[in-house]
Amino acid sequence: MNNYLMCPSTMCMNFDNLKEDIRLLEEAGIDIFHNDVMDGSFVPNITLGINDIKAIRRNTSKMIDAHLMIENPMNKVDWFIDAGVDLIYIHFESERYVAKTLAHIKGRGVKAGIAINPDTSIETVREVLNLCDYILFMTVNPGFSGQKLIEFTIDKLQRLIALKEQYGFKIVIDGACSPEVIKRLGEMGTDGFVLGTSALFGKGRSYKEVMEDLRKL
C-alpha cells in the first residue's frame, strides 16, 4: 500500500450534499482537500470562493489547501488564511514580489507553496524554493479540467525531484492524475496527487473502493 498524499479536487465534489461528500471522502482515506481558486483573469475560468472554502473547513479537520490561480495573490492571501486553509499555492507569474508573499504566508503560520506551470522553468523559481513547503507541479495548463498530461513536463519533474532533499519540499502533481500517471510519477519520487475525474470522481463506485485501488498502485 502506498502512502502518497491523496488530494481530492473539491471542484468535483457534490455541493448539493457537501457535508456527506466530505464524510465519505474522509472515510475513504484522503489526505488534503484541494481547492482551485480561479479569478477569470489569470486563468479564463472562475471557480471556488471564500464561502465555499469556509463551508469545507467547517466540515472537516483534515488539511485543506488553496491553489490561487489569481492575479496579485498577496492582496488576497489573508482572506484564505482567515478562512482556515492550511496551505496556499501561488503562481510565480501572478505575483510581483513572490518571496515576500511566500514569507508572509509562512509568517501567518500556514504552509506555502509554488505552483509550477508546464512553461515555468525550475531556474525561474529556484531562488524561492527555500520558502516552499510544497510544490504543486502542473502536468497540464492551469484553468481547465479534462486535459491530457503534457509529456515534456516529465523531464522537468525529474530535475525537481532531485532538489527535494536539498530544499525539503514535497511535490504534489496536479493534472491528468489517472491511475497510470499516479503509478508512474509516484515511482519516480513524487509525494502526492490531486484527484479529479481521471482517478476518483464519477467512477460509478464508492470513494472507498476507488481509493483502495489507488493505494495499491
The catalytic residue positions are 36, 174
Q: What is the dihedral of CA 182, 199, 216, 211, to 10 degrees?
A: 140
Q: Which sign does the torsion angle of CA 196, 198, 201, 207 carry?
A: negative
Q: Could you please report the per-residue DSSP string of 66-111?
A: EEEESSSGGGTHHHHHHTT-SEEEEEGGG-SSHHHHHHHHHHTT-E
Displacement of CA 130 from its chain's centroid (Å):
19
Please report the beta strands in the chain, taking only residues with DSSP state E, as ranges in sequence order. Answer: 5-8, 32-38, 63-69, 87-91, 111-116, 134-138, 170-174, 192-195
- Grid coordinates belonging to 16: 448539493
Query: How far apart are the C-alpha atoms of 130 and 168, rounded to whole Å?
Result: 8
Residue 139 host element (H or E): none
